[in-house]
Amino acid sequence: VQLQASGGGTAQPGGSLRLSCAASGLTLENYAVGWFRQAPGKEREGVSCISSSAGMTYYADSVKGRLTISRDNVKNTVSLQIDSLKPEDTAVYYCATGPPVCLSSRGKITDYGMEYWGKGTLVTVSS
């Protein structure tokens, strides 16, 4: 099983980026897929997750309203659209999968059960 995150790059504040997570050896439709990010000097945080089957979506409070997670089951990918980029969005973004549903703890998206991880894609927001 391999996950590959792509779509990162450098963008200006207020701009948009669309990240993509492609899978091989696994049908993403059957699993929850989470997006996590790690900024320099900070702990990794879950920013969004989409569950399998019903496709329930979840977002961290810090990004709510600016991120949209979606699936393309034909392409076996999960995308993360980031709008109204802020400098604090600068981080390496990872996609991960494993459990059938998104898991949270104390209102935060967790990586519990996320067995498979992509290598990450760097997002830099700078003017």
Whole-number Cα distances in Å, 55 to 31, 49, 61: 10, 9, 19
Return d(Cα 15, Cα 13) in angstroms, integer.
5
User: Considering only 16-25, 47-56, 70-79, 112-121, which range has the smallest mean pLDDT?
Assistant: 47-56
Distance CA 111, CA 95 (A): 10
- Stretch 78-103: mean pLDDT, rounded? 96
For residue 120, the model assigns a pLDDT of 95
- pLDDT for 54 beyond 90: no
Please, which residues have CB within 8 angstroms of residue 97's CB and are 6 or more apart in sequence? 3, 23, 26, 28, 31, 32, 33, 34, 114, 115, 116
pLDDT of 10 > 90? The answer is yes
Please tell me the total number of residues recorded for the chain in this structure: 127
Mean per-residue pLDDT over the chain, rounded: 95
